[in-house]
Structure 1
Amino acid sequence: MRAGYALDGDDGCIADARHHALGFLDRACTDHRLPVSERARDLTQLVVSELVTNALKYAPGPVLMELRINALAVDVVVWDSDPIVPAARAADPGRIGQHGLEIVKAVTEDLFTEREPVGKRITARIALSDTRGSRTARC
């Protein structure tokens, strides 16, 4: 299952992206009976927020988000027009802000960036199951 969304950068765009992600996970659960843990839902919203925020902040033009899911994981894919590949900065407890990529790396199973003919595509993979066992799946 997959779905794509064009994000225009208007006020509320990041909230809309999170809303699309939750709706996508709900459809995966109800239509395809894929068990999605509460942790996976929370982390998906967080990753969507961070990746879309970065794309809107640093790249001119539109942002595209694609969500893909299989029995084990959901992929959050964000494309923007800036060809510069982001890098997580070294840990600095005194730094205010610019921790988004560090956070995404910490909560995802995999994170990779692909340069495109125009811009780049960042993919973050989030496990559907709660390996910590603290929260149960919604389906």
Structure 2
Amino acid sequence: MGLAGQSEGRPLLMERPVSASAAFEGSAEIAAARGMARDFLQSLQAVHGLPVSKRAMGIVQLVVSELVTNARKYAPGPCLLTLEVSEGTVEVTVWDSSTTLPTILAPDPGRVGQHGLEIVMAVCRSFEMHREPVGKRIRTAVVLADDPGGDAAGQVV
């Protein structure tokens, strides 16, 4: 998987998508999913030379943890996690076997629990849910590098 050259301050462009996928079946594997995300991002830096901010490293692991936890909690069978680099972001996609889309509750600081998707939506550039012929797919995108001016990368407002 090669990289095109960098020219006059333009970012490196991927010749082919860089991605990783794995299936997870038990609740104990949520930590393994976070580890997969961490290893994937470290590989982006070490092997492919892409910048990954510390903030992005933490956010991607948080998003993976929340989405895989929900899949394990609410859907029977395995879930599939896919990480893919696209246009300066890492897309985190989780598929599970339940066709029921999650309910996203309004922010409520007095509510105990059920803030996971609320947090995911706040820290990601994009968030999508789709029913599939079998199950559902949730896809998010997290910006890999913070703005050189010091602003945290996140949702486009």
Tell me the TM-score normalised to structure 2 length. Answer: 0.81
Distance in 1 between the 2:128 and 2:86 partners?
18
**In terms of Rg, which structure is larger?**
2
Matched, 1:9 2:26: yes
Instruction: Name the structure, 1 or 2, with higher relative contact order (CA <8 Å, separation 6+).
Output: 1
The amino acid across from 1:36 in the alignment is V
The amino acid across from 1:133 in the alignment is G
Deviation by residue 1:56-103 (Cα, 9 ceiling, x = unmatched) = 111111111000013510011000001011131012222110000000
Of 85-94 and 44-53, more deviation after overlay is shown by 85-94
Cα offset, 1:114, TM superposition: 1.6
Distance in 2 between the 1:120 and 1:103 partners?
20
Distance in 2 between the 1:71 and 1:133 partners?
20
Cα offset, 1:5, TM superposition: 0.5
Matched, 1:100 2:116: yes
Distance in 1 between the 2:42 and 2:103 partners?
32
Match of 2:47, SS?
helix
Q: How many residues matched?
A: 134
Distance in 1 between the 2:27 and 2:123 partners?
27
User: 4+ runs of 1 displaced by more than 3 Å?
Assistant: none
Tell me the TM-score normalised to structure 1 length. Answer: 0.91
Contact 1:40 1:129 in 2 (8 A): yes
Deviation by residue 1:9-52 (Cα, 9 ceiling, x = unmatched) = 142x1110000001001111111111111110010010001000
Q: How does 1:115-134 map to 2 (within 5 A)?
A: 115-131=131-147, 133=150
Distance in 1 between the 2:133 and 2:66 partners?
23
Q: Percent identity?
A: 51
- Counterpart in the other structure of 1:87: 103
Cα offset, 1:133, TM superposition: 2.1
Q: Where is the helix percentage greater, Structure 1 or Structure 2?
A: 1
The CA RMSD measured in Å over matched residues stands at: 1.5
Contact 1:52 1:63 in 2 (8 A): yes
Distance in 2 between the 1:56 and 1:10 partners?
6
What runs of 5+ residues in structure 1 fail to find an aligned partner?
none
Distance in 2 between the 1:33 and 1:61 partners?
36
